[in-house]
Amino acid sequence: MSGNTGSYISSCVFVLIAHIGMLLNVFFNGNYDSLTQVIILSGAVVILDVAYFIAMLFFRQTTFTVDFLLILVLNMSVIFQSCFGEVVFDYKHYITCIISLVTCRCGYLLCRNHKWLREQRKFFYIGIFILMVVILTLTGSRGMWISLGPITIQPSEFIKPLFILACATSITEQQKKHKILCFNVVYENIALFGLTAAICLLQWWCRDLGSLPTFVAIYAAGFLLRICYPKAKFSKKKLVGAGAVLAAVAVAGMKFAPAYVQDRLHVDIWADKDGNGYQQSQALIAIANGGWFGKGPGQGDLHNVFAHKNDIVFASISEEWGLLYALMMVLAILIIIALPLINPPRSYFHGTMSAGISAAFTVQMALNIFGSCNLIPFTGVTIPFISTGGSSLMISGFMAGMLVACQSPTMRSPHLNEQIPKRQLYPRRRKA
Amino acid sequence: MKSIKRCQKIISLFIVMFIIGMVILVIKIQREASFYMINSDTLSLGKVYDKNGDVLFDGTGEIDSPAGYLIDVGNLIGDDKGQMGNTLVANNLKKLNNYSFSTGLKESGGKAAIYTTLDHKANRAVYDAFAGNDGCAVAYNYETGAILVCTSLPSLDVTQGYDDIDNFPSGTLLSKTMRKTVPGSTQKVSTLIAALEIMGPNKLFSKRFDCTGSYHNKGGNDIDCHQSYGHGTLDIQGAVENSCNPFFAQLIEDEDMPLNKIKDVYSDLGYALNGADEDYIDINGIKCETASTTLMDPYEFRTQWGCIGQGDTLVSPVQLMMWESAVANENGKMTMPYLIDHITDVNGKEKEKAKTQTSQRLFASDTASTVKEILLTNGQNHYAYSIPGYNIGVKSGTAQVLEGEQENSLLTGFVDDPDLPIAFCVLLENKNSTWITTDSIVKVMLDSLSNDNGNE
Amino acid sequence: MDSTNLILCAVAAACLDICAMVLIISAYHERKTGGKRWNRITSFMELADYNTVYPLGCDEILIGRHASADIRLADLSVSRYHAILTVSDGIWTITDMGSTSGIFVNGIPVSQAQLRENDIIKLGNRQLIFRRRRDINVR
């Protein structure tokens, strides 16, 4: 760690205080049979906190705020997940949270040098291709899960960070233009477009429509940053046109969507509250029941509803902890996303990467929260860091690590002995 | 640097859009939370009061009124059991639930309540006046719109549960005041209004038609009069007072009464003509059916009977009463009825105080005054004896239902008294099986309402 | 819902709020260290006109006449996207981006050149000096 001992210590202390405040709430208001579960939970949370604080000392980073927010949110989610219905320590979620912290470190180490990363581009494409083949062949009939004994893996989650990396670009790369017919194009932009189309088709095929908007949002952010800079030939008119085309495609997609999607789009949850609208109507009733301050940890009723730990987790938290607390949890995640605004990335590659990550996180949160509250059609997307689910937590951790990397980059050339020519003259012009 | 700023702008865009979504969500939850709660399995309902503080419904189920005490309002006030859909409680659960987003659901001690405009004492008296016969009665203050009496027989006492539901007589679980029925000669008020709108009073009063007990119309059918010897030559006043069918049949055929103009007036009055889409009159969430009839051809049997009050014509008693308000107010505008005076929320704060609302102008003020005069004269000439002490304008009606097997008696009208501005409609089913008359029910109704009025 | 419950909820929420605030404040703190570190990476360099100073805030900096260029030189002799400055291992390099008038470093026309302290860069009619930052204490 480098410098800023004061802010490091105060951050540690206040993260601990926030967790202890929650644990006190569990202790006094919680619904538990034996005190041991509360003690186990408190011990686990505090130990993980302290362990991560110490582990962070071994990393030389410019900023640690993302890490502190990550441990804050992850341990919050451990406490949330352990309290639904009754206070029972959720081992499985705790372990996935630890894995998530480890992948965060991996993400940081892998992504901190953007120059090195830029040269690995072909591996991103290969990785995405392999994952797509895996989805096509290994997942059950048109599903999105691979089951390996007790563990199920959602391979489409793993595409997300690779896709973000594939979308990221540097200004220099955008200069390498080639002329096709009368258009100056960058080959990679075309390749990326093809990749996006392939991913979208695959998502459509395997009925994972929940993550489709995430990919579209990542691509939209990447596309804007690729096209508009530096040769700003893309006028506002063309942008509006592109938006209109996108909207038309979306409308057409909704019109010709398969029947089960149509059902979701048009269901009136209150007319069908025992059928298709069951989860959402129960979620909304739970939020209404919780009010601003909630019923108390473990006192809710939503744990009887399917997917209360991931798809409608916002409602579960609202019911037990109150809407106010749930909103603040969302705020904490938003601060993670907003940190690149405070600590700006120092290269365009990292900048585009941060934009892609923030697109992925906000769209996922929006789909989950607004979907479960009936503002938009309900899809089975997870809230990053809060919902259970191994793949999603791992990947969210990895993407958080990428954010750390964007803010604490190493600006070293990957090739130590590379010779930059001291001076290169213009090639001699031939006279005709 | 601008390139980095551009990245930051896109990040801010995503965050701002998400925050806007969150704000919309929170506002939506705030506003709709009470609605979500009535869909939950646990409700904590408050009480419904009449205008004098008598409890008409208690959501806690701890009401200690004697069995049958609430039978007169059973199918109007209803309950939350789901057996009756078109009742005050079923349609206003949200207002009655002891819940608000900030306080949560109050299991006990919540103060959510609905204060209705009903006069339970008068309502009960009217219910008793039916002496067990089927029918319904509704009365409201035509100046404010407050419904004072609204009862329908047969009825049930919701505190006694539904164990015996298989043996409930038909019509128990709905308020007949809101249901369409054959209006009989009370329909002639609408035709009278139409004639006045089209011809004006002078021309109409100059018309004379003969009644010989039966009229062979231009379509080749016989329109019978209830007075088989005939009424002789009548003017409009006499025709209304005697409720003479041949007179009205000839009036419809008259060339000064083009059918399309009649249709215009009828649609203004709110009839759904010839199978047009029907609307509902909304009374605090309770749906009241609107009138409908068939008007095809002025010489046709069905159309003529439609204007006389048989055939395809159907009107709900509430709507008949509302037309009386347009007449009694002498402005051609109906006073819209309401049942909820105000409500209190879970903290006891008074909310949603009712306001008097009037409809659009249905017909001209002159028409209203003339109709009022005709009905008042009818009242003085024929009802001064049976309903003494009130200056009332009324129109009676006899409706043949079940293909002529049963006759229903109707009486609709108003009291022309600034201290007792009541418009009413009473329906007595199968009138030939009983000695009770609609006059006697109206008398009881007005007596108890004026008594209550005097006591205040 | 009794008052103790309410108080505890409020306390937990307040803790979280304060924690979030502290973290934001420390992020602003770290922004300073981040800035210092960036200065070290870039060898404390900046570009300057006779009256304007252009800080070098990221590792790819566009120079040109266009509004979206990082360093905007409003002069018709400068191309819209004239040159790009990149940094690697503390060494800044200037590269021509297909400009019409070319780049002159210390009077020599180059398509790409490593920059040293106090080099004079000529883009069209404009001259810029590549120099050490003046606003900080350089040890």
Q: Which contacts of C110-115 are long-range, i.e. CB under 8 A and separated by 24 or more positions?
A: C110/A423, C110/A424, C110/A425, C110/A426, C111/A424, C111/A425, C111/A426, C111/A427, C112/A421, C112/A423, C112/A424, C113/A422, C113/A423, C113/A424, C114/A420, C114/A421, C114/A422, C114/A423, C115/C45, C115/C85, C115/C91
- Phi and psi dihedrals of B358, rounded to 5? -120, 160
- Computed over its alpha carbons, how large is the radius of gyration of chain A? 24
Is A366 within 8 Å of B3 when comparing Cβ atoms? no
Is A424 within 8 Å of C111 when comparing Cβ atoms? yes
Could you tell me if C70 lies within 8 Å of chain B, comparing CB atoms? yes
More confident: B51 or A266:
B51
* B348 alpha carbon, distance to own chain's centre: 30
- H helices, E strands: number in chain C: 1, 11
In this prediction, residue A99 has a pLDDT band, given cuts at 50, 70 and 90, of: very high
| Domain, as residue range, for A87 | 5-410
Residues of B in contact with A362 (CB under 8 A): 14-15, 17-18
Q: What is the pLDDT of residues A32-57, one digit of tens each?
A: 888 888 899 999 999 999 999 998 88
Is C81 within 8 Å of A231 when comparing Cβ atoms? yes
Is A348 within 8 Å of B4 when comparing Cβ atoms? yes
pLDDT, position A105? 92
Which of residues 139 through 178 in chain A touch B, CB cutoff 8 A? 171
**Lowest model confidence (mean pLDDT) among A260-274, A378-392, C54-68:** A260-274
Q: Which two tokens stand for residue C112?
A: 């790409």
The whole-angstrom separation of Cα C46 and Cα B8 is 23
Could you tell me if B131 lies within 8 Å of chain A, comparing CB atoms? no
Alpha carbon of C133: minimum distance to chain A alpha carbons (Å): 18
Could you tell me if A3 lies within 8 Å of chain C, comparing CB atoms? yes
Residue B224, pLDDT > 90, answer no
The whole-angstrom separation of Cα B256 and Cα B252 is 9
Query: Quick one: what percent of chain A has pLDDT higher than 70?
Result: 86
Q: Is residue B413 within 8 Å of residue B426, measured between CB atoms?
A: no
- Strands A423-424 and B422-428: what pairing? unpaired
- Phi and psi dihedrals of A398, rounded to 5? -60, -40
Q: Which of A16, A53, A83, A328 is the best mutation test for C, with the most CBs of C within 10 A?
A: A328
Q: What is the pLDDT of residues A226-246, one digit of tens each?
A: 875 555 455 667 778 878 888
Q: What is the pLDDT of residues B20-54, one digit of tens each?
A: 999 999 999 988 888 888 888 778 888 888 888 88
Is A420 within 8 Å of C27 when comparing Cβ atoms? no
Is A172 within 8 Å of C86 when comparing Cβ atoms? yes
Could you tell me if C85 lies within 8 Å of chain B, comparing CB atoms? no
Q: What is the pLDDT of residues A291-318, one digit of tens each?
A: 888 888 888 888 888 888 888 889 999 9
Could you tell me if C88 lies within 8 Å of chain A, comparing CB atoms? yes
What are B373's strand-pairing partners? none
Is C69 within 8 Å of A325 when comparing Cβ atoms? no
Q: Which residue does chain C place closest to A21, by CA atoms?
A: C12
Alpha carbon of A272: minimum distance to chain C alpha carbons (Å): 31
CA angle, A342 then A348 then A350, to 5°: 65
pLDDT, position C101? 86
In the block, tokens 């419950």 appear at C5
Residues of C in contact with B3 (CB under 8 A): 58, 60, 62, 70
Residues of B in contact with A284 (CB under 8 A): 29, 32, 36
Q: What is the pLDDT of residues B168-190, one digit of tens each?
A: 888 888 888 888 888 888 888 88
In this prediction, residue B453 has a pLDDT band, given cuts at 50, 70 and 90, of: low
Q: Is residue B228 within 8 Å of residue B253, measured between CB atoms?
A: no
Alpha carbon of B351: minimum distance to chain C alpha carbons (Å): 25
Could you tell me if C58 lies within 8 Å of chain B, comparing CB atoms? yes
In a domain, A352, yes or no: yes
Q: Which of A289, A403, A422 is the best mutation test for C, with the most CBs of C within 10 A?
A: A422
Q: Is residue C69 within 8 Å of residue C86, measured between CB atoms?
A: no
Q: What is the pLDDT of residues B375-410, one digit of tens each?
A: 999 888 888 888 888 888 988 888 888 777 888 899
Is B8 within 8 Å of A351 when comparing Cβ atoms? yes
Average pLDDT rounded to a whole number, residues C99-114: 88
Alpha helices by DSSP H, listed for B329-402, are: 365-383
The whole-angstrom separation of Cα B68 and Cα B81 is 18
Which of residues 11 through 40 in chain C touch A, CB cutoff 8 A? 11-20, 22-31, 33-34, 37-38
CB pairs under 8 A between B and C: 14
Locate the domains of chain B by residue range: 187-312
In this prediction, residue A1 has a pLDDT band, given cuts at 50, 70 and 90, of: very low
Number of domains in chain A: 1
In a domain, A140, yes or no: yes
ipTM rounded to 2 decimals: 0.90
CB pairs under 8 A between A and C: 193
pLDDT, position A49? 92
In this prediction, residue A428 has a pLDDT band, given cuts at 50, 70 and 90, of: low
Is C58 within 8 Å of B4 when comparing Cβ atoms? yes
Residue B84, pLDDT > 80, answer yes
The whole-angstrom separation of Cα C122 and Cα C83 is 11
- The neighbours of chain A, by the rule of 3 or more Cβ pairs under 8 Å, are B, C
Is B28 within 8 Å of A354 when comparing Cβ atoms? no
Mean pLDDT, chain C, whole residue set:
84
Q: What is the pLDDT of residues A143-180, one digit of tens each?
A: 667 776 666 778 888 888 999 998 888 877 777 777 77
pLDDT, position B26? 92
pTM above 0.90, yes or no: no
pLDDT, position B456? 47
Per DSSP, the residues of B213-229 read SEEE-TTS-EEE-SSTT
Alpha carbon of B1: minimum distance to chain C alpha carbons (Å): 6
Residue A360, pLDDT > 80, answer yes
What are A242's strand-pairing partners? none
Is B3 within 8 Å of C69 when comparing Cβ atoms? no
Residue C94, pLDDT > 60, answer yes
Which of residues 287 through 306 in chain A touch B, CB cutoff 8 A? 287-292, 295
Q: Give the end-to-end CA distance of chain C in Å, rounded to a whole number.
A: 63
Q: Which residue does chain C place closest to A14, by CA atoms?
A: C19
In a domain, A173, yes or no: yes
- The neighbours of chain B, by the rule of 3 or more Cβ pairs under 8 Å, are A, C
The whole-angstrom separation of Cα A246 and Cα A219 is 12
Query: Quick one: what percent of chain B has pLDDT higher than 70?
Result: 99
DSSP tag of C65: S
Q: Which of C11, C19, C81 is the best mutation test for A, with the most CBs of A within 10 A?
A: C19
Q: Which of B2, B5, B10, B26 is the best mutation test for A, with the most CBs of A within 10 A?
A: B10
Residue A432, pLDDT > 50, answer no
Give the burial string for A169-182 (b: 16+ CB within 10 Å, else e): bbbbbbbeeeeeee
pLDDT, position A431? 45
In this prediction, residue A115 has a pLDDT band, given cuts at 50, 70 and 90, of: confident
pLDDT, position B346? 84
3 state DSSP class of C83: strand
Residue C62, pLDDT > 50, answer yes
Question: Does residue B408 come out as left (phi exceeding 0), alpha (psi in the -120 to 50 range) or beta?
Answer: beta
Q: Is residue B296 within 8 Å of residue B331, measured between CB atoms?
A: no
Residue C139, pLDDT > 50, answer no
The whole-angstrom separation of Cα B22 and Cα B15 is 10
CA angle, B421 then B427 then B429, to 5°: 165
Q: Is residue B317 within 8 Å of residue B181, measured between CB atoms?
A: yes
User: Which class for A121: exposed (0-12), middle (13-18), buried (19 or more C-beta within 10 A)?
Assistant: middle
The whole-angstrom separation of Cα A199 and Cα A212 is 8
User: Which class for B456: exposed (0-12), middle (13-18), buried (19 or more C-beta within 10 A)?
Assistant: exposed
Could you tell me if B27 lies within 8 Å of chain A, comparing CB atoms? no
Average pLDDT rounded to a whole number, residues C33-60: 84
Q: What is the pLDDT of residues C11-25, one digit of tens each?
A: 888 888 899 999 998
Average pLDDT rounded to a whole number, residues A315-342: 91
In this prediction, residue B259 has a pLDDT band, given cuts at 50, 70 and 90, of: confident
In a domain, A432, yes or no: no
In CATH terms, B187-312 corresponds, of 3.40.710.10, 3.30.470.10, 1.10.8.60, 3.20.20.370, to: 3.40.710.10
**Lowest model confidence (mean pLDDT) among A377-381, B60-64, B101-105, C7-11:** B60-64
